[in-house]
A and B are shown apart, each in its own frame.
Chain A
């Protein structure tokens, strides 16, 4: 595969993120406008200066009109993209490639989702006409199958795995409690979390990402133009996207303790960014903790710890704000909330705040000032049939 990457060719010069949560008072238009206006202001540009737009949404609407109408953009290309829960990251990728190619000078990627208008709890995929044989279980149920599989593979008691999962949720709740944009701002103890009734397998509601409305946006330019917009841009060190062929769900070799699409995506990202020791080189990571077992597996798939070791590392606090490698310092999907199409850009927004020293003092990562790279990992689908995105962003200017 010839994936050449665009390391150091593109920079983020402005970002914004709305508050996530039950935004009963705001529709899709208002969310789009709030995120876009915030990004314009952050980059110090007017909307006329953005040459092209990419809008990521999984299921809140169709076509570029979702953005052009509320923003009153009538003479620009606007592309709606969808790639499951990685739709926001996909929008970013397209915008980044567009400026890297020279096709445009300034592009915006905006992710948005309005989930709370469905009238049902939880997230529900819009049905596509089908033959009636597709699985009907929830994402929570699919990811819950990691728990017994992980316990079996590594000879860990299920209760110990559950404790590690509760520790993940507790950590992300603690981080989210310090984040004014987060959906859930209440700290939860491991004991409280372990006492919750199950809804799917061993998972309780508190093992699941918050279902939220929200939007986030980034403005990207070619790296050489970045300092014209801001003294502290974030440079794109790596972008990687892998879509599996879905064979995991029907492959008897697949054991639900790893996401091969994530492993491939992160290997490519590390190659592009020249990372050989992620735990030592990354200042932070934002990962797709759609369910607590997802974060558990991701710590191993991303190479943050040894196979079979994530449960111990989580319990030991390795991935806390004050740990070796802070993971989900903004609260993650768990606590920040998961407006599907917005989440990938929300992860980058946290990198934008943290690496530039703008995160509030009470949730500042311990690694600040020592390291200058952040990883975002955004996935969609299910164990065995997944799309996986990885980015690495950094503050270090490209060598001239």
Chain B
């Protein structure tokens, strides 16, 4: 079985302050924050961001496959992972597969990636919705995380999989009717008891398989679909409380399929070499993994955009706007014509530009965005940073969340693009601001999502 070569977690910029919920919804909410995907984000765009983070130390690993796990797929019938595949500019021979519909699917994606012969990327991403004022609205959060899997032939393994136990079970505790914005749950005690039995069993088996005792565990992650069951198992696992990994319930919320990878990424960002990490996921059974970190981990640690940094950098979104973004509160649309649907054939022809953000370089050395047809030299620009040369705030153009903030960006190393800004406060933009590119969903028409890139302010980290 493969080990872990890379990892990355993506937390969207916006936060809902849960204390603001009750005054609007008449109840619900609570203390803390949940992460909120912006109006231009979905499971696919967040997966792209997480995958970019996971690949940044080993961008050249030739992936055999990528697996996208999500409960909130932007599309059914067609594959969502191919969009991620295109945005990452992966080889056409790299398989791109969805594992869609359940939280547990993320572990299936991880297992599929870990057990194939070549390197693989498992990405999990979710926009988690519940009804206004309900407990799930506060329990959930939005986010994505990715794990790059392979062995020493492909790169430096930063964590080995020492043991893996998977127990499947059939009982109905949490379910969602396809198309609905809410989950439904059975009476809480039933699930709590079932999951505790499953969790204990999985954990004892996996520790035995790895020839370890609970006291050997340095970082214990327990997550899943049943919040209370996770807390109970964590308390009774025989691992000292200071070795319990915080579930980030009050800073991000439970990100569904993404949460196991997200918490694991957070641990790998701070764990030392030779440490034992146990990951238990309670979802329609129990999965338990024992991971052992290696000395290579320190070199893989991200220099910026760590999970903690992203949590710290978040900015509030008002509750009403959050509800509008999720379609829970229908608000007056802009009185402008809605965008036409994107042409499939035109989008297909411009795939390297539209999805991969490739420019071109002319004989004179100048970079051009979009690429020019007569310039064969292609420039990958997605990781280029740039500077705002001038900008405007457009209160007239159609946007799912007006106003549109639009800037002319000059990229380091050449190239200029007039492009929309996102994750930005219109009043705070200044000429000279530093920006980086992010993959977003511009709009949707006739059910076709229009994906393209926007610029967002560089926040923290090295520049």
Contacts and interface: CB of A to CB of B under 8 A. Distances in A.
Interface string A140-181: 111011001100100000000000000000000000000000
Interface stretch (A194-202, A265-273, A277-285, A312-320): A194-202
Interface stretch (A3-11, A119-127, A214-222): A119-127
A213 to B, nearest CB: 18
Query: Majority SS of interface residues in chain A?
Result: loop
Contacts of B406: 135, 137, 141
B253 to A, nearest CB: 31
Interface stretch (B97-105, B146-154, B266-274, B338-346): B338-346
Nearest to B404: A137
B395 A131 contact: no
Given A131-B350, A131-B354, A136 B416 contact: no
Contacts of B396: 122, 138, 140-141, 199-200
A4 to B, nearest CB: 30
B327 interface: no
B397 A136 contact: yes
B212 interface: no
A133 interface: yes
A133 B354 contact: yes
Contacts of A145: 390-392, 408
Nearest to B442: A132
Interface stretch (A84-92, A99-107, A247-255, A352-360): A247-255
A34 B392 CA distance: 40
Contacts of A149: 390
B404 A136 contact: yes
A252 B410 contact: yes
Contact of B452 (A118, A127, A133): A133
Contact of A252 (B391, B395, B414): B414
B216 to A, nearest CB: 53
Contact of B394 (A118, A140, A249, A254): A140
Given A121-B335, A124-B336, A137 B394 contact: yes
A131 B337 contact: no
B417 A120 contact: no
A243 B107 CA distance: 57
A370 interface: no
A129 B392 contact: no
Contacts of A97: none
A252 B234 CA distance: 56
Interface in A227-281: 249-252, 254, 256
B139 interface: no
B349 interface: yes
Given A145-B392, A201-B393, A249-B418, A136 B354 contact: no
Given A124-B336, A131-B342, A256 B390 contact: yes
A130 interface: yes
Nearest to B369: A250
A121 B408 CA distance: 26
Contact of A148 (B343, B354, B410, B431): B431
Interface in A189-208: 198-201
Given A121-B335, A250-B368, A250-B415, A132 B392 contact: no
Nearest to A143: B392
Nearest to B336: A120
B347 interface: yes
Nearest to A202: B392
B353 interface: yes
B255 interface: no
A200 B392 contact: yes
Contact of A131 (B336, B349, B393): B349
Interface in B373-391: 389-391
Nearest to A122: B396
A155 to B, nearest CB: 14
A200 B393 contact: yes
Contacts of B346: 129-132
Contacts of A136: 339, 397-399, 404, 420, 442
Given A138-B397, A199-B395, A130 B342 contact: yes
Interface in B403-431: 404, 406, 408, 410, 414-418, 420, 431
A150 B203 CA distance: 67
B450 interface: yes
Given A137-B404, A198-B395, A124 B350 contact: no
A129 B343 contact: yes
A56 to B, nearest CB: 23
Contacts of B392: 137, 141-142, 144-145, 200-201
A132 B416 contact: no
B133 interface: no
A250 to B, nearest CB: 5
A202 to B, nearest CB: 8
Contacts of A256: 390, 408
A195 to B, nearest CB: 17
B430 to A, nearest CB: 10
Interface in A331-366: none
B431 A133 contact: no
A132 B450 contact: yes
Nearest to B395: A199
B399 to A, nearest CB: 8
B370 interface: yes
A137 B397 contact: yes
A145 B404 CA distance: 14
B343 A131 contact: yes
Given A122-B336, A145-B391, A199-B396, A135 B418 contact: yes
A256 B370 CA distance: 20
Contacts of A120: 335-337
Contacts of A131: 342-343, 346-347, 349-350, 353-354
A250 B416 CA distance: 5
Given A200-B392, A250-B415, A132 B354 contact: yes
A248 to B, nearest CB: 9
A43 to B, nearest CB: 40
A198 B397 contact: no
A133 B335 CA distance: 22
A129 B346 CA distance: 8
A132 B452 contact: yes
Interface in B306-350: 335-337, 339-340, 342-343, 346-347, 349-350
5 contacts: A121-B335, A131-B349, A136-B398, A136-B399, A252-B416
Closest 6 CB pairs of A and B: A132-B342, A141-B394, A201-B392, A132-B450, A129-B343, A127-B340
Given A132-B347, A144-B392, 16 more contacts: A120-B335, A130-B342, A130-B346, A131-B347, A132-B452, A133-B354, A136-B404, A137-B406, A137-B420, A141-B404, A145-B392, A152-B431, A198-B395, A199-B396, A251-B416, A252-B389
